[in-house]
Amino acid sequence: MVGVHVILDIVPQRIDPAAWADAFEETLLLLRAHPARLLGYGFRLVAGVRVPVFTRSVEQGGQDPAERRWCVVGDRATLGTGERQRMYRDLGRYLARFPVVQDAVRPINDGDEDILRWIGVSAREGAPATVRVFGEGDQSEPCRLGLLAAAMVVETRFPRHAVVSGSFDRQHAETARRWAKGVLERSITLPVRVDAWRLVERLGARLTGEALVREVDRLYLAPPGPREAALLGVFGRTEAEPWLAGKLREHASPDEAGALHAVAAYLEHTRDLARLAGLACLDARGPRWPPEAFVAALAALGKAHGFQARPRVDPAALDHALRAVFGEAAPRLEATFRAALRSPVPASGALDEAAHEPPSIDALTAAGSPGELDPARRQMIHRLAHTVRDLRHRVEDHRGPASVGAARRTVASLLARAGPTLTEDAWEWIDREDDPDLCAFLATLAAVEPADAEATAVRRVLLENRALCRYAAGVSRDR
């Protein structure tokens, strides 16, 4: 789920506390069942030093009803982490942020009751007190599925008083819904912001015409291409064309990615090339692109990558449309189209597919023994082990070797101050380790300042994985 980010907002004054507590229990059940084994965040004592730790359990707060919560920060499968995401069982935690809220007691009409009415609206404009439950900061990749499913549970229970937002689309939500259904054994609804028909139904209670189209466009979560296609599928030509003309007008040239997405979506839904040519080149509401640039962009549609709708323009339909719209200029524009069609690349490189994120080497932590490492990853460990060896010799020449207890305190003190934060599993093996040589290696490893991102990640892996750490300690003894 690359690029996904999940946000949950609520209007706590409109939610029943007992129903909120029930929703919390379902979200906790989901997060506990996550296949990547999600991590929480807390503290523990190691050799007398208080250190931050990623916990095995996502549930926190013990028996105190006011403090009971879940906390998700990362996952055990990849050791990927992000900012802490939390949800409290006690709705009062969110009500307490607004000790006096006039909106909680004044009568409101049906249009004001819907949280969609207040997304992106300043509180100074009379919005009720919406509260961010979670969504701040980075979210690790495996966590996003669990967070999206949890947020969908809340929106399903409180559809007019909770809303899921962020960076995701319908496909991501469908994946989360299927997983949640398997865990909870009941269906949950898709977020309204990825369902164009439901958005129209909800927003149509107070908006009509072009204002409704603009508001759906503002709230609908979808990438370029599918966004335009969905709105053109929902609205009629009378309502959608002024909106589409405005979307086209946002682009100085028709070969820009956003322009090509909108053009492709219009052709897919209407097949009316003549009408599109008029909107793009002649209509005062549109961008009035030069006809030559427009037909060159049409030729690029059949070859461009990076979006789903890729209609190839039929030459006969093009001939008819150009003659109907541009008259005597049609033959010249057809020649421009044919020349662009023969071009080996699209008119713009803006539609190239996004580069994938490089694979993380944090997966090293799952290795049960050095024998499972490929040569490249083994070499990564060797480089860091040699760095530790050089630093360890300098330290011991100056101070002499440290005792096992002193080495553990050194590790805890250094990592408490400068990180990285480790899991409970890591601290448990470090706190029990009684091999003097391995403890000395750990103390020096904790003192190393990694030279780059690779060394930083390998250092984290060695601290998490005793088998690999012992292997690296052995390498460091080899001159």
Q: Is 264 left (phi over 0), alpha (psi -120 to 50) or beta?
A: alpha
Identify whether 370 is preceded by a cis peptide bond (ω within 30 of 0): no
- DSSP letter at 309 equals -
Report pLDDT for 34: 95
- pLDDT reading at 274 higher than 90: yes
Q: Please, which pLDDT band fits residue 313 given cuts at 50, 70 and 90?
A: confident
**Domain map of the chain by residue range?**
5-198, 233-351, 370-476
Beta strands 49-55 and 422-423 are parallel
Please tell me whether the overall predicted TM-score, pTM, comes out greater than 0.85 for this model.
Answer: no
Q: Is 189 helix (H, G, I), strand (E, B) or coil?
A: coil
Convert the pLDDT of each residue in 69-123 to its tens digit.
Answer: 999 999 988 888 999 999 999 999 999 876 544 444 333 444 457 899 888 765 5
Give the residue carrying structure tokens 């007398």.
48
User: Could you count the other beta carbons within 10 Å of the beta carbon of residue 16?
Assistant: 12
User: Could you count the other beta carbons within 10 Å of the beta carbon of residue 197?
Assistant: 12
CA atoms within 13 A on the CB side of 265: 25
Q: Please, which pLDDT band fits residue 1 given cuts at 50, 70 and 90?
A: low
Report pLDDT for 126: 54
Please give the share of the chain, as a percent, with pLDDT higher than 90. 63
Convert the pLDDT of each residue in 361-371 to its tens digit.
Answer: 555 666 777 88
Convert the pLDDT of each residue in 343-364 to its tens digit.
Answer: 765 444 444 444 444 444 555 6
Convert the pLDDT of each residue in 17-28 to its tens digit.
Answer: 999 999 999 999
Task: Report which of residues 255 and 109 the model is more confident about.
Answer: 255
* Residue partners of 178: CB distance under 8 A and separation at least 6: none
Convert the pLDDT of each residue in 408-458 to its tens digit.
Answer: 999 999 999 999 999 999 999 999 999 999 999 999 999 999 988 889 989
Give the residue carrying structure tokens 């033959």.
331
DSSP per position, 101-129: -GGGTS---HHHHSGGGGTT--GGGT---
Q: For the purposes of burial, counting CB atoms within 10 Å of the CB of 104, is it exposed (0-12), middle (13-18) or buried (19 or more)?
A: middle
At residue 248's C-alpha, the angle toward residues 244 and 250, to 5°, is 120
Amino acid at 410: T
Task: Report which of residues 254 and 119 the model is more confident about.
Answer: 254
Average pLDDT over all residues of the chain: 86
The structure tokens listed for 424 are 């409970």
Beta bridge partners of 162: 10
Q: For the purposes of burial, counting CB atoms within 10 Å of the CB of 344, is it exposed (0-12), middle (13-18) or buried (19 or more)?
A: exposed
Pick from 263, 192, 200, 258: which is nearest to 224 by CA? Answer: 258
User: Mean pLDDT throughout 228-252?
Assistant: 90
